[in-house]
């Protein structure tokens, strides 16, 4: 008896240590990434010292200015976008119980970008949208439009893929997602071609990019990251139960529809805001939850801490790589995440038992 | 597995005379061609169109019809047929109702290869384009095939691997498009799949290639029929399964690759056309292949014509329109083949 409790305690202590180690390591990796991201760039002489000095003893020199108005918001935005996408992936994989669920594959990104592209056309008028400001949340910008689009794309795939009717063949859902994404992307291309202005910047944005961002973008996305984290925390235990099976979750007193609705709202907030500021960035939301699960297991209470950190780290490092692809010119970060994420997705399809 | 996939190839339409249907399709395609030559920013009356095409017009529209409209319509014919026949071959060989040049990565590979050639070495002759594009498609298809192979090819695994490989190749195209911003407007149209500004030069570069491949496919029709019965029956009937399958796939790659090389990815044609053709005339390849080719032509022609007449002078790329139709059709297919 005592032996058993002892070993239980031991195991729990060991697991806690394991979690702690994972948190610390990923945190350190992220911080190093942020430092690198703010010190690597086309302008020389903006180094780690400038990073700290500009934080605490801002003197208005060119280096400090670059650091505070270009490098820092960019790194912060990359990190937040990565965190958002990772949360979105975690929530999606949790509520759909589908290992391949992610905002990129399930039409959420495509829907959001279609609506954003529509918002930039003359029908809606970009200046009008970006001039709306609400207190605390900062400039409203295109975020609500992106939310609508994210909801539109996600719901389309959700119902067409047959989740609602109880069939849960993951691959069907993926195929439906790809088809809907292609459809929405085509509509978006049509929109862009028809409107004929801003095409260059829109094409760049469509590949997914965080460069050229400012603190406004950070302020735009930050509250939604918080909302997403809060929702994930609220749902964590429910998601753990849902992972055991829908019947189990129902048997233990959970309302699946409520879980899915709240989770869906969370996904729309995090994925929509990420697309609004950085364009559709693929594969981060798909692979980060998988990496996290490999590192620390399946408990969503722990995953919800690790996933945003690793997602942020992945985006920050991808953004650094993106600078080197065509140095000193910038390339969209979405290209790097696709290059990294595609093979990982392949690896997942090789490993997982998704093809029965 | 076989029991469920085979449903895709049973046609329950009672075929009276498939050849009649083929001729009806041909008539529609020709009528649409005549209309399409006349349609666009500058409208040409139908009779004037016909006379100008045969060189007996007033001369007023000679230039616009012979140098602008006719090459792109001709291109629509061969490109539509190329995608459709490619899709038919792939679906026949892999016996997967959802397989298509896009899904198994051919178009992304061919697209990347031709984008590299067009942007990196613009001085190279356009004659080289089909070969390079074929090579790119071949690499992508081989990659998908090898990665998806695990005690045979399962349709779901193939689709997933294809999506992943396509994503990687597409990010390569994205990179090229954002790094060479001079021709961005054109690149966007080309990426979305368009027949805009196609010339006789490109038609001549591609047409023989497609004709030869199409003839080759027709010559394989009988073997493809046997292959559709299943590997064991095919072996029993004296068909060497693996070589046949590889040859058929290579032809599919060549057809799709050549089509992508000149007009980008006109989405979903390679997926839709074979299914439509199969419903029309059944699964025998000697009639299925030409029917699919005609259906593909009709799809591309319609999309191109619509794209020109919706809001002239701006053109909506044909690929955008086929995707808008093809996305829902794909989902409909998912429902129809929900066995797996």
pLDDT for A261-296, tens place per residue?
898 899 988 998 888 888 888 889 988 999 998 888
Say whether A105 sits in a helix, a strand or coil: coil
Minimal CA–CA distance to A247: which of A257, A258, A259, A256? A256
Cβ separation B314–A183 shorter than 8 A? no
Strand partners, B29: none
Distance between B58 CA and the closest CA of chain A, angstroms: 34
Instruction: Write out the E strands in chain A.
Output: 133-134, 138-139
ipTM of the complex: 0.76
The model's pLDDT over A206-230, given as tens digits with 9 standing for 90+, comes to 777 777 777 888 888 888 899 999 9
pTM for the full model? 0.80
The per-residue pLDDT for B134 is: 84
Gap between the terminal Cα atoms of chain B: 8
Pull the structure tokens for residue B135.
């090579």
Distance between B188 CA and the closest CA of chain A, angstroms: 8
Distance between A307 CA and the closest CA of chain B, angstroms: 22
Q: Cβ of A253: how many Cβ atoms within 10 Å?
A: 8
Sign of the Cα torsion B194, B100, A96, A342 reads: negative
- d(Cα A134, Cα B64) in Å, to the nearest integer? 54
Measured between CA atoms, the residue of chain A closest to residue B179 is A331
Say whether A329 sits in a helix, a strand or coil: strand
The per-residue pLDDT for B66 is: 76
Residue range A161-179: mean pLDDT, rounded: 67
The model's pLDDT over A9-62, given as tens digits with 9 standing for 90+, comes to 888 888 888 888 889 999 999 999 988 888 887 676 667 777 777 777 777 777
Q: Is the pLDDT of residue A128 over 60?
A: no
Mutate to test the interface with B, among A212, A344, A346 (most CBs of B within 10 A): A346
Instruction: Write out the E strands in A1-137.
Output: 133-134
Residue range A70-95: mean pLDDT, rounded: 90
Sign of the Cα torsion A189, A190, A193, A194 reads: negative
Cβ separation B174–A326 shorter than 8 A? no
Residue range A305-310: mean pLDDT, rounded: 93
Query: Per-residue pLDDT for chain B (340 aa), expressed as one digit of tens each?
Result: 344 444 444 555 455 677 888 888 898 888 888 888 877 767 777 777 777 777 776 767 777 777 778 888 888 899 999 999 999 998 888 777 777 888 778 888 888 888 888 777 777 766 777 788 888 888 998 888 888 777 666 666 777 788 888 888 888 887 877 777 656 556 666 667 777 777 788 888 888 888 998 999 989 888 888 888 877 888 888 888 778 888 888 899 889 888 888 888 887 898 889 999 988 888 888 889 999 999 999 999 999 888 888 777 777 888 888 888 888 888 788 777 765 4
Task: Say which residue, A101 or B312, is predicted with more confidence.
Answer: A101
pLDDT band at A188 (very low <50, low <70, confident <90, very high): confident
- d(Cα A340, Cα A336) in Å, to the nearest integer? 6
pLDDT band at A198 (very low <50, low <70, confident <90, very high): low
Chain A partners of B100 at a C-beta cutoff of 8 Å? Answer: none
CB A121 within 8 A of CB A84: no
Decide: residue B151, CB within 10 A, 0-12 exposed, 13-18 middle, 19+ buried. exposed
Q: Which helix (H) or strand (E) holds A137?
A: none
Measured between CA atoms, the residue of chain B closest to residue A188 is B320
Cβ separation B178–A331 shorter than 8 A? yes
What residues have CB less than 8 Å from A273, skipping those under 6 apart?
A: A84, A143, A146, A147, A220, A221, A224, A225
Cβ separation B160–A335 shorter than 8 A? no
Cβ separation B165–A182 shorter than 8 A? no
Say whether B15 sits in a helix, a strand or coil: coil
pLDDT band at A349 (very low <50, low <70, confident <90, very high): confident
Buried b (16+ CB within 10 A) or exposed e, B6-16: bebbebeeeee
The per-residue pLDDT for B241 is: 79
Which of A125-134, A176-185, B302-311 bottoms out in mean pLDDT, i.e. has the lowest? A125-134
Minimal CA–CA distance to B119: which of B166, B177, B196, B172? B177
Q: Which helix (H) or strand (E) holds B6?
A: none
Minimal CA–CA distance to B205: which of B126, B97, B131? B126
- d(Cα A94, Cα A108) in Å, to the nearest integer? 16
Gap between the terminal Cα atoms of chain A: 42
Q: Is the pLDDT of residue A87 over 90?
A: yes
What mean pLDDT, rounded, does chain A reach?
A: 80
With a pLDDT cut of 70, the percent of chain A lying above it is 83
What residues have CB less than 8 Å from A166, skipping those under 6 apart?
A: none
């Amino acid at each position: 008896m005592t032996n058993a409790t002892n070993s239980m305690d031991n195991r729990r202590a060991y697991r806690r240590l394991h979690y702690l180690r994972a948190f610390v390591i990923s945190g350190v990796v992220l911080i190093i990434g942020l430092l690198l991201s703010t010190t690597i760039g086309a302008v020389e002489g903006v180094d780690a010292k400038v990073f700290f000095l500009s934080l605490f003893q801002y003197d208005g020199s060119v280096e400090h200015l670059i650091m505070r108005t270009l490098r820092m918001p960019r790194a912060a935005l990359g990190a937040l976008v990565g965190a958002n996408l990772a949360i979105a992936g975690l929530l999606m994989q949790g509520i759909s119980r589908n290992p391949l669920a992610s905002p990129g594959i399930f039409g959420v990104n495509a829907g959001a970008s279609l609506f954003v592209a529509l918002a930039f056309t003359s029908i809606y008028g970009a200046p009008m949208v970006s001039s709306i400001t609400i207190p605390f949340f900062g400039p409203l910008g295109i975020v609500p439009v992106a939310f609508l689009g994210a909801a539109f794309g996600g719901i389309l795939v959700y119902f067409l893929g047959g989740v609602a009717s109880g069939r849960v063949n993951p691959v069907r859902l993926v195929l439906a997602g790809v088809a809907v994404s292609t459809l929405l992307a085509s509509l978006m291309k049509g929109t862009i071609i028809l409107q004929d202005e801003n095409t260059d910047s829109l094409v760049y944005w469509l590949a997914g990019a965080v460069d050229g961002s400012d603190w406004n973008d950070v302020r735009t996305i930050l509250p939604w990251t918080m909302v997403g984290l809060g929702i994930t925390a609220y749902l964590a235990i429910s998601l753990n139960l849902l992972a055991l099976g829908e019947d189990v979750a129902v048997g233990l007193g959970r309302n699946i529809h409520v879980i899915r609705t709240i989770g869906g709202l969370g996904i729309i907030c995090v994925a929509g805001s990420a697309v609004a500021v950085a364009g559709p960035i693929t594969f981060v939301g798909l692979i980060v939850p998988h990496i996290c699960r490999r590192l620390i297991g399946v408990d969503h209470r722990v995953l919800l801490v690790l996933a945003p950190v690793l997602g942020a780290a992945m985006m920050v490092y991808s953004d650094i790589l993106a600078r080197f692809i065509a140095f000193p010119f910038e390339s969209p970060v979405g290209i790097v995440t696709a290059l990294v994420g595609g093979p990982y997705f392949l690896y997942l399809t090789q490993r997982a038992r998704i093809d029965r | 597995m076989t029991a469920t996939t085979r449903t895709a190839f049973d046609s329950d339409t009672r075929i009276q005379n498939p050849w009649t249907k083929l001729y009806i399709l041909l008539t529609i395609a020709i009528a649409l061609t005549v209309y399409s030559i006349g349609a666009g920013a500058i409208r040409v009356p139908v009779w004037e169109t016909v006379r100008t095409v045969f060189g007996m017009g007033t001369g007023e529209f000679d230039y616009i019809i012979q140098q602008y409209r006719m090459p792109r319509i001709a291109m629509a014919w061969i490109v539509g047929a190329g995608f459709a026949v490619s899709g038919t071959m792939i679906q026949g060989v892999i016996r997967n109702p959802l397989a298509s040049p896009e899904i198994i990565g051919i178009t992304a590979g061919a697209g990347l290869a031709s984008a590299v050639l067009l942007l990196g070495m613009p001085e190279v002759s356009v004659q080289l384009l089909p070969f390079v594009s074929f090579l790119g498609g071949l690499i992508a298809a081989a990659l998908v095939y090898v990665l998806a192979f695990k005690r045979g090819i399962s349709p779901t695994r193939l689709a997933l691997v294809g999506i992943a490989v396509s994503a990687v190749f597409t990010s390569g195209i994205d990179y090229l498009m954002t790094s060479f911003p001079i021709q961005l407007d054109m690149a966007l149209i080309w990426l979305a799949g368009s027949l805009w500004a196609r010339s006789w030069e490109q038609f001549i570069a591609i047409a023989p290639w497609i004709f030869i491949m199409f003839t080759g496919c027709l010559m394989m029709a009988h073997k493809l029929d046997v292959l559709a019965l299943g590997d064991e029956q095919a072996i029993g009937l004296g068909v060497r399964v693996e070589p046949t399958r590889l040859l058929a796939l290579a032809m599919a790659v060549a057809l799709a690759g050549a089509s992508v090389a000149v007009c980008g990815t006109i989405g979903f044609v390679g997926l839709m056309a074979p299914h439509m053709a199969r419903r029309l005339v059944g699964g025998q390849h000697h009639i299925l292949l030409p029917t699919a080719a005609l259906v593909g032509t009709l799809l591309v022609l319609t999309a191109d014509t619509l794209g020109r007449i919706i809001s002239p002078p701006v053109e909506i790329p044909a690929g955008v329109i086929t995707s808008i139709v093809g996305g829902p059709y794909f989902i409909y297919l998912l429902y129809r083949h929900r066995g797996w």
